[in-house]
């Protein structure tokens, strides 16, 4: 999770958090890695530099023997926010070998006035 700012309130009232996702390809061939948002109903993500509409899953090319860093924004509509911190996962899976891994992250939001 990016530290500053913890979250941004967008003009439509939704909340956006920023993350850095690192994909390491340690084999001498290119890989297609599927990055999926798990949990956090109603949320969608976008990746800086990827000209595709926001979604819950993206296929990312990673060059051989390289680390690919992605700047990922996760947006959650205001009516789906249930507290200042909600956990969710980033799941990554190799499209060919089906190797996978998950990382549990936290989505931060402002305190809701009651």
What are the pLDDT tens digits along the chain (114 aa)?
888 889 999 999 999 999 999 999 999 999 999 999 999 999 999 999 988 899 999 999 999 999 999 999 999 999 999 889 999 999 999 989 999 999 999 999 998 644
pLDDT of 83: 87
Domain boundaries, the chain: 8-108
Strand order in the sheet with 15-25: 8-9, 15-25, 66-76, 44-47
- Is the pTM value of this prediction over 0.85? yes
pLDDT of 112: 67
Architecture category of domain 8-108 in CATH: Sandwich (2.60)
Q: How many CB atoms lie within 10 A of CB 76?
A: 22
pLDDT of 91: 97
**10 touches 16 (CB < 8 A):** yes
pLDDT of 27: 92
């Amino acid at each position: 999770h990016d530290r500053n700012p913890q979250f941004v309130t967008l003009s439509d009232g939704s909340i956006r958090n920023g993350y850095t996702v690192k994909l390491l390809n340690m084999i001498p061939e290119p890989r297609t890695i599927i990055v999926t948002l798990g949990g956090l109903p109603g949320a969608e993500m976008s990746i800086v530099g990827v000209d595709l509409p926001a979604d819950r899953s993206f296929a990312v090319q990673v060059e051989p023997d390289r680390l690919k860093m992605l700047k990922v924004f996760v947006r959650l509509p205001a009516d789906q926010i249930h507290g200042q911190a909600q956990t969710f996962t980033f799941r990554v899976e190799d499209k060919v070998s089906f190797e996978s891994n998950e990382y549990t992250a936290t989505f931060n939001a402002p305190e809701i006035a009651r």
